[in-house]
Structure 1
Amino acid sequence: MFRDLSRPIETGMPTYPGDPDVTLAPDATHEADGYATSELRTGTHAGTHVDAPKHTLPDGDAIDERAVGEFAFTARLVDLRPLRPREPIGAATLSDALGGGTDAVDPVVDLLVLRTGWAAHWGTDRYRDHPYLTEAAAERCRDLGVGIGLDAFGPDPTPTGSETNGATETDAEPAGTPAHDTLFRANLPIVENLCGLDGLPDRFRLYAFPLRLRGGDGSPVRAVAEWRD
C-alpha cells in the first residue's frame, strides 16, 4: 500500500517564520495561449521537505551532493502523544516511546518518524508551538545512526515572536539549531512537515526524493509511505 505524507504546495501555505511566501499562479492559459503553465515561487523549506546539512552547517553537504538512494528510508513510527505545546522531547521520552530502550531499535531502521500530533494544527499559529527534540535526544539518535522525520516545522523550537494559544518562548529553550546540527554532523537525514501519519504501521518504507537543486540547502519532496497490507 502507498500513502502520500506530503502537504500540498499552494499559494499562502504556512511557512517557517521569515521564510519566503509560497505562490502558485497561472502563467500561460488555454484561453489565451492554447496551453497552460504556472509560475511557482517558493523557499527550499516550504511544505513537506528534506533538509541538507548545508541548511545549518556552513561546511555541510548540499542537497545535490547526497546520493539519491539516501532518500529512500526504512522507517519506524514513534507515537509521542500526548505532548504539550513547546514541550521538550528528551532522550528518556524517546526511549519510552520506543518500548523501553532506544538500544533495542531495529538495526535496519534508518529513520524515526516522530508523531507529535502537531499535524492537526497546520494552518494555525499553534503549529509554531510544536514540541522539539532536546540536544540529548538528538545525540541519542546520532549514536543509533537514525535520522528524524516529524509532523512539525522541525526538531528544534520554532520562534513565535508573540504569545500564541498560551504558549511562549522561554529562556529554557535552546538557542540556535542544536538538534539539526547534531544530526547533520553525523550526515543523518531530517524530513519535516509530514502529515497523514494516522493508521500507519509501526514500520514502513518512506520515499522523500528532493529536487536536484544545485548547491541547495533543502528541497520540497513528495513524501510517500509504502508497506505491505
Structure 2
Amino acid sequence: MKIIDLSKPIQYNKNDPWFMRVKIKHKPHKKAKWLIRIFGLPFKLFPKDFVGWADDTIQKMGVHATTHIDAPWHYAPTTNGKKSKTIDEVPLDWCFGEGIVVDMKHKEDFDPITIQDIESFLSAHELSLSPGMIVLIKTGRDKFNGTKDFHKIGTGMSAEATSWLIDQGIKVMGIDSWGWDLPLPHMVKKAKETNNSELFWEAHLVGKDKEYCHMEQLVNLDALPYSGFKVAVFPLKIVGASAAPARVVAMLE
C-alpha cells in the first residue's frame, strides 16, 4: 500500500495572514531534567546518559489555520432545523471512504465551479459518484499555500455545485484552495459592488439546509489518480469545535 499525505505541515510561517498564523514552542531535552527533579527523582537516580525528554506546546493555532475539516456547526447553529454537529459529533464513518479527484485546475481565479463543470469532468473521464465517497476538488492553488496571497486567489465552489454533491450522497468533500468558496476578499468586494446579500459565503451556507463537511487547504492532489484510492480524514476530537486539524491521507493499493 502507498500512502500519500494530503496535509500541509503545521509550523510557523511569517507569510501566513495573522488570522491563520501558528506559533509552537519547542522545549529542549535538558529542560525536562529539572521537571523530573521537581517531581522528586534525585539526579543520581536518572538513567545513565539520560538527557531529558523533548516537549512542545502549541501556543497559538486556530482550528481553521491549517489543513482541516469543517463541521456543520461552522456553517450555522442549525442544519435543516436541528442543532448542527460540532466536530466531535461528526460520525467517523463519514471520514473514511473511496476517494475521487475532480480536476478543476483549468478554472480561472474567481470563476466558481459549477454543476456542469463537475458533470463534464466525470463524463469525460468515465467516472461516477456513489454515496459515501470523499470528493477532492483539485484547483492547483496549493502551490500558493504558505504565501501571503494564498487566501486572496483561486477558484471555489458554487452553492449549486455544493448542494448537488450532497444530493449525490457525498458527506465529505475537500479542496486544495484556502477556502471552499471563492476567495473571501473577492466575495466581500463583489457583494459590495452588486449590493447582493446572497453572494457572500454561498457554498458554506448550503450547510444551513443540508448536512455535510468540507476540508480546506489540502495539498499534493497532483500525486493522486482520479480514482482507485481511499481517503482518511480523521479530525482531532475537540469538543464543541467548529472544525479541527486533520492528517488527511490517501491510500493506494
- Which bin holds the TM-score, normalised by the shorter protein? 0.7 to 0.9
Q: 1:158-209, CA deviations, whole angstroms, 9 ceiling, x for partnerless residues?
A: 3238xxxxxx943469533221221463222201111011131222211110
Equivalent residue for 1:52?
71
Superposition deviation, residue 142 in structure 1: 2.0
Superposition deviation, residue 107 in structure 1: 1.8
Equivalent residue for 1:24?
24
Equivalent residue for 1:94?
118
Equivalent residue for 1:38?
56
Q: 1:199 to 1:54 in 2, by over 3 A?
A: same
> Normalising by structure 1, what TM-score?
0.85
Q: How far apart in 1 are the matches of 2:121 and 2:114?
A: 11
Whether contact under 8 Å (1:76, 1:109) holds in the other structure is: no
Superposition deviation, residue 127 in structure 1: 2.0
Q: Which structure is higher in helix share?
A: 2
Equivalent residue for 1:165?
none
Secondary structure of 2:235 counterpart: coil
1:136 aligns with 2:151: no
Equivalent residue for 1:185?
209
Superposition deviation, residue 76 in structure 1: 0.6
Superposition deviation, residue 136 in structure 1: 1.4
Whether contact under 8 Å (1:213, 1:219) holds in the other structure is: yes
> Normalising by structure 2, what TM-score?
0.77
Q: 1:206 to 1:98 in 2, by over 3 A?
A: same
Q: Which has the larger radius of gyration?
A: 2
Instruction: Please say which of residues 93-102 and 135-144 is displaced more in the overlay.
Output: 93-102
User: 1:11 is matched by which residue type in structure 2?
Assistant: Y
Superposition deviation, residue 109 in structure 1: 5.1
Q: How far apart in 2 are the matches of 1:97 and 1:14?
A: 34
1:7 aligns with 2:8: yes
Q: How far apart in 2 are the matches of 1:200 and 1:184?
A: 32
Equivalent residue for 2:243?
218
Equivalent residue for 1:199?
223
Q: How far apart in 1 are the matches of 2:166 and 2:221?
A: 23
Q: 1:72-128, CA deviations, whole angstroms, 9 ceiling, x for partnerless residues?
A: 1321111112121122111111211112599x7232552211111101111224422
What are the ranges of 5 or more consecutive residues in structure 2 without an aligned counterpart? 33-51, 79-83
Task: Give me the identity figure in percent.
Answer: 26
Equivalent residue for 2:135?
112
What are the ranges of 5 or more consecutive residues in structure 1 without an aligned counterpart? 162-167
Q: CA RMSD in A?
A: 2.5
Equivalent residue for 1:151?
176
